[in-house]
């Protein structure tokens, strides 16, 4: 199968507001007021957590029937631990990104605890966003001067 390319475009607007675009969709990204933003949208790390939670929820729904899970509903809550002293360069030893991410999957299904545990293990293994975070991809950065 051919590799698919996904694309996002993030444009700095005013202050710390950023317009994110993918395909025909737009999203406003901002920082909270106490971080210098206007609090008009999620900040990038919140967006990352939501991307992880949404991807897990989609995988949960997508494979439930084929894996014989009688899914009635689910909510995925992701929490990230981040020390702002890292990205603010206050503490050179502090990590700049999340040091820990906790995933709480609230699932409503008529299956045994063991069946649900096995299914969630499969979901974690299958989720592209989880895989991207845990198995970091190769990065290439190109600078294009306007």
Q: Is residue 94 part of a domain?
A: yes
Helix (H) / strand (E) containing 132: helix 128-134
Residue 87 has pLDDT above 90, yes or no: no
95 pLDDT higher than 90: yes
* Across 8-17, average pLDDT: 97
In the predicted model, is pLDDT for residue 9 greater than 90?
A: yes
Query: What is the structure's pLDDT at 59?
Result: 98
Do 52 and 31 sit in the same domain of this protein? no
32 occurs within a structural domain? yes
Supply 73's token pair.
Answer: 């509903």
Which tokens belong to 78?
């992701």
Within a domain: 103: yes
How sure is the predictor about 1, in pLDDT bands with cuts at 50, 70 and 90?
Answer: confident
What is the pLDDT at residue 140? 96
**Structural domain span for residue 12:** 1-41
Domain count of the fold of the chain: 2
36 and 54 inside one domain: no
CATH number for the domain spanning 69: value is 3.30.300.20
The answer to whether residue 88 scores a pLDDT higher than 90 is: no
Pairwise CA distance, residues 48 & 16, whole Å: 17
Rounded mean pLDDT of 70-95?
94
Q: Are residues 27 and 58 in the same domain?
A: no
71 and 4 in a common domain = no
Assigned domain for 144 exists:
no
């Amino acid at each position: 199968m051919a590799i698919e390319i996904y694309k996002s475009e993030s444009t700095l607007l005013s202050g710390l507001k950023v317009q994110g675009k993918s395909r025909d969709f737009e999203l406003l990204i901002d920082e909270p007021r106490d971080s210098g933003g206007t609090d008009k949208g999620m900040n990038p790390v919140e967006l990352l957590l939501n991307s992880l939670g949404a991807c897990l929820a989609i995988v949960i729904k997508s494979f439930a029937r084929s894996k014989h899970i009688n899914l009635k509903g689910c909510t995925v809550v992701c929490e990230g631990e981040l020390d702002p002293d890292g990205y603010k360069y206050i503490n050179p030893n502090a990590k700049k990104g999340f040091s820990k991410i906790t995933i709480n999957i609230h699932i409503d299904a008529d299956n045994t605890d063991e069946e649900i545990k096995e299914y969630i293990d499969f979901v974690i293994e299958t989720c592209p966003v989880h895989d991207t975070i845990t198995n970091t991809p190769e990065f290439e950065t190109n600078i294009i001067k306007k």
